A and B are shown apart, each in its own frame.
Chain A
Amino acid sequence: MKRSSKENEESAGLVTRRGLVLAGLQLGFMSILGLRMRQMQVEEADNYRLLAEENRVNMRLIPPSRGIIYDRNGVSIATNTQNYRIVIVREDVPDVDETIAKLRQLVLLDEDELEKSLREMYRRSPFVPVTLADRLTWEDVAEVAVNAPALPGVTPDVGLSREYPLGADFAHIVGYVGPVSDYDLSKLTDPDPLLQIPKFQIGKIGVETKLETQLRGQAGTKRIEVNAAGRVMRELGREEYTPGTDLQLTIDHGLQNFAQARLANESAGAVVIDIETGDLVAMASSPSFDPELFVRGISTTNYRSLTENKYRPLFNKAVQGLYPPGSTFKMMTGLAALRHNVIGPKETVWCPGHMAFGGRRFHCWKRGGHGWVDLDTAITQSCDVYFYEAAQRTGIDNLAALCHEFGLGERFDLPVSAVREGIVPSTKWKAQVRGEQWFPGETLNTAIGQGDVLTSPLQLAVMTARIASGKAVVPRLVKSINGVEQSLEQADPMQINSSHLRMIQQAMYNVSNGRRGTARRSRIVAEGMEMAGKTGTSQVRNITAAERARGVVRNDQLPWERRDHGLFVGYAPFDKPKYAISLIVEHGGGGSSAAAPPARDILLYALYGDVPPIEAYPSDQRERIKTMLAELPVRPRQQPAKTPSRA
Chain B
Amino acid sequence: MSYLEYKVQTIPTGARKILHANWAVALLLTAVACVGFLMLTSVAGGDASRWAEPQMKRFALGLVVMMAVGMVPIWFWRNMAGIAYLGAFGLLLLVEFFGTVGMGAQRWIDLGFMRLQPSEVMKIALVMILAAYYDWLPMAKVSRPFWVLMPVGLILLPTALVLKQPDLGTAILLVAGGGIVMFCAGVSWWYFIAVVAAGVGLVAAIFSSRGTDWQLLKDYQFRRIDTFLDPSTDPLGAGYHITQSKIALGSGGWTGKGFMQGTQSRLNFLPEKHTDFIFTTLAEEFGFIGGFSLLILYGLIILFCVASAVQNSDRFGALLTLGVAATLFLFFAVNMSMVMGLAPVVGVPLPLVSFGGSAMLVLMGAFGLVQSAHIHRSRSR
Contacts and interface: CB of A to CB of B under 8 A. Distances in A.
Contacts of A150: none
A42 B254 contact: yes
Contacts of B185: 14-15, 18
A45 B315 contact: no
Contacts of A48: 246-247, 249-251
Given A36-B340, A45-B253, A56-B263, A227 B269 contact: yes
Nearest to A27: B299
Interface string A34-57: 101110111011011101100110
A20 to B, nearest CB: 7
A15 B309 CA distance: 8
A9 B313 contact: yes
A56 B306 contact: no
Contacts of A607: none
Contacts of B263: 52, 55-56, 225
A11 B317 CA distance: 12
Contacts of B295: 30, 33-34, 37
Interface string A575-587: 0000000000000
Interface in B190-206: none
Nearest to A30: B299
B267 A15 contact: no
A42 B318 CA distance: 39
B208 to A, nearest CB: 29
**What's the dominant secondary structure at chain B's contact region?**
helix
B291 interface: yes
Residue from B288, B298, B312 with most neighbouring chain A CB atoms (10 Å)? B288
A234 to B, nearest CB: 11
Contacts of B248: 52
Nearest to A7: B139
A40 B250 contact: yes
Interface residues of A, number: 44
Interface string A10-37: 1110111011101100110110111011
B269 A37 contact: no
Contacts of A23: 302-303, 306
A40 to B, nearest CB: 4
A361 B381 CA distance: 143
A3 B139 CA distance: 10
A15 B322 contact: yes
**Interface size of B as a range:** 35 or more
B138 interface: yes
B267 A226 contact: yes
B184 A45 contact: no
B259 interface: no
Interface string B168-197: 000000000000100111100000000000
A363 B319 CA distance: 127
B254 A45 contact: yes
A183 B253 CA distance: 49
A231 to B, nearest CB: 9
B268 interface: yes
Interface in B218-254: 244, 246-254
A263 B149 CA distance: 107
Given A19-B184, A45-B254, A11 B287 contact: no
A19 B322 contact: yes
A9 B378 CA distance: 11
B272 to A, nearest CB: 13
Given A15-B315, A48-B251, A55-B247, A30 B333 contact: yes
Contact of A55 (B264, B283, B299, B310): B264
B326 interface: yes
A335 B280 CA distance: 91
A185 B289 CA distance: 52
A1 B133 CA distance: 12
Given A7-B139, A48-B250, A19 B310 contact: yes
B168 to A, nearest CB: 20
Contacts of B267: 55-56, 225-228, 233
A17 to B, nearest CB: 8
A498 interface: no
A30 B130 CA distance: 25
A228 B269 contact: yes
A22 B180 contact: yes
A522 B287 CA distance: 92
Contact of B288 (A10, A14, A18, A42): A42
Given A15-B309, A45-B250, 16 more contacts: A8-B313, A12-B315, A15-B310, A20-B306, A23-B306, A27-B299, A30-B295, A34-B295, A38-B288, A40-B246, A41-B254, A48-B249, A52-B263, A56-B269, A228-B268, A233-B267
Interface of B: 136, 138-139, 180, 183-186, 244, 246-254, 263-264, 266-269, 283, 287-288, 291-292, 295, 298-299, 302-303, 306, 309-310, 312-313, 315, 318-319, 322, 326, 329, 333, 336-337, 340, 342, 381
11 contacts: A7-B139, A10-B139, A12-B318, A15-B315, A18-B183, A30-B333, A41-B249, A49-B251, A52-B251, A228-B244, A228-B269
